[in-house]
Structure 1
Amino acid sequence: MKDSKYQVPPKTQIGHVHLRVSNLDTSIQFYCDLLGFELIQKYGEEAAFVSAGGYHHHIGLNTWHSKDAAPDTREGTGLYHLAILYPTKKDLANIYKRISQVENLRIGSSDHGVSLALYIRDPDNHGVELYWDKPKEEWPWTADGKLDMYVRPLDLDALLALAD
């Protein structure tokens, strides 16, 4: 890499994630019926594309190389988690209320200083982070002006109190 000073443009975004899943219908139920994404297109019985707000797709699901495969393991290389950014704290509260009613769905949570995050696993054991970014003015900074993120307990009762 000759030009080590190159930086990705500041407004660059991650457009979508594409997941290998073992069962397309089970994954569609998780991402659409539970998390509320819209099914945009189903490509036969092998792939589906889901999104928020009518975008062509935020999440691609496919069984091209993984139909009926064993769930993902937490060890080894690969996807740690995909992260879904909610526009408001109330939106995060509403999804928390929804997922907290699902029996046997383990939910982790953290306050990172810059964001509030919930952690769940999809039917194929992929990590899914549901989060809201705090306003930049509220982010924690060190005395010398560096970002000071942390991992602290999230007050889930206070979050739930914001839900509809």
Structure 2
Amino acid sequence: MISGGNATIIVASMDDSIRFYTEILGLKLTNRFGNDWATVSAGEGLTIGIHPASPKYPHPGTKGSILLGLDIDIPVEKAVSHLASQGVTVKGSVVRSEPGNFVHLEDPDGNEIYLWEKVQQEVRNAEMNLTTVQ
């Protein structure tokens, strides 16, 4: 079910943080979605997600400002069903967006974890059209 993942950090400045991770540390920028989210590759198996500070996330450097994201290789609905059968409480509903489908949950200590189902562009276009029609 889980095929990879990333650690996400909340930052004060997207541009400064991306510059730090890419130009200073030499990591590769793999995605950037405006000022909402970016990812850098830190080598085989480690992706660092970068999100700007916002009312939704704790201030950079405080508890909760680092999140765990796990890539899944099955449809997000199947993952939710499996986890629910194991007693895991999912927070909210599935979010469908350009980079893929997401669902949030918490570990036993309240640390946020999100599951990310990457979706091919053709599938994404069909889902977006369905959402628009409804």
TM-score (norm 1): 0.36
| Structure exhibiting the larger radius of gyration computed from Cα positions | 1
Q: Which of the two has greater strand per residue?
A: 2
Q: Which of the two has greater helix per residue?
A: 2
TM-score (norm 2): 0.43
* Structure ranking higher on relative contact order (CA contacts 8 Å, 6+ apart): 2
